[in-house]
Structure 1
Amino acid sequence: MEYNNLTKWLKNEWFKLTIIIIILLVLLLLGIRQKWDRQESISQSEKSDVLMVYNQVKGALPKHSLYCIPETKSYCTIDGCIADKPNVFVIIGQSPEGEAFLGRCDSKPCDIYPSNLEESGEVVTVTTKEPHGMLFKSSYLDSSYVEVVTLLTDAFISTGQCYKNENS
C-alpha cells in the first residue's frame, strides 16, 4: 500500500519535483562558478606577487633568456594533493661558459643548477645534470610550463607561463 501511495504522489507532483530539481542544479552550478572565479582571482593575485618579486630582483639575477612565473602550485603526498601558494619562479639561461642552467628563485638568491636542455617537437625538457629530483617542461606552442620538484616521496607541482627576457 505504501508503494502505491508514493507512486500516486509522484504522478501528481512530478512537475513540482522537476522545478525543484532544476532550481537546485542551477544553484549548485552558480556556487561552483563562484568558487572557480574566487580561485581564479586568487591565482592571478599570487601570480602578481611572484611577478613582483621577479621584477624586484631581476637586476641581480644571472643573465637569462627565459623566466617562468607560476600560476598554480600543488603539494602532493601519498595521501593526495592540496593547493599551495606559488612562490618560486624559474629562470633558464646560459652561463658565460655557454653551459645551460635552470634557476629556481624567490626573494632570496636563486639556486642555480647546470642543466641539460632537450627539445622534442614543440616541447623543451630541462633536467639538472646532477640528480636533484626536478623536472621542467615547457611548450613552444603556448609558452606554458610544468615543474615537478620532489622532496623525499612528496612532490611540488607548479604550472604557469614562460616569457622571453627582453634584457638578455
Structure 2
Amino acid sequence: MARPRPAEFDKVKTVAENRRARFEFFIEDVYEAGIALTGTEVKSLRGGQGSIVESYAEVKDGQVWLVNSNIPEFSHGNRYNHEPKRVRKLLLREREIEKMHGAVARKGMTLVPLTVYFNSQGRAKMELAIAKGKNVQDKRETVKDRDWKREQSRIMRDKG
C-alpha cells in the first residue's frame, strides 16, 4: 500500500514564488516536483535568485517541462555557466504526469508553478498546480471577498 502524501510540503527555504498565480487561476490540484538542474543553476538558486512569474509547464512525450523560468547566471560560473531561460525538466511520477496530461488535454487546464524551494534534504523542488484561468468577473469577486474579510477583521478588532 502506498504511503499517504503529506498535506503540506516540507519547505525549508523558499527561493521564488508566483504570488499572482492564486489571483489569476483557480487552483485544483497541487503536486511537488523535482527540477533537473545543472550545478551553476543550483548555486544561483541557493543565492536567492530566480523567477517563475511568467513561467508555465507543459507535457511533451510523457515528460513535464518548465518553460520560461528565469534562473540568472551564477556570478562565479566561468564557461560552464548555464543559459538563464532554458527549458528545464520536472521530475514527477508517471501517474501524476498522466493526470496532468489528461487535465490539460481534455479540460483545458494549465500547469502553473507556484513556488520553488529547497526541502529539508537540500533538494530543489517546485510546487506545481493544475489550474483553470479566471475571467474578469471572477477576479472582481476575489478582490471583493478579500476586501470584505479585511473589513471584518478591522470591525472585530475595534469592537473586540
Q: Please give the TM-score of this superposition, normalised by the length of structure 2.
A: 0.28
Higher normalized contact order (CA 8 Å, seq sep 6+, divided by chain length)? 2
Q: Please give the TM-score of this superposition, normalised by the length of structure 1.
A: 0.27
Structure number, greater radius of gyration: 1
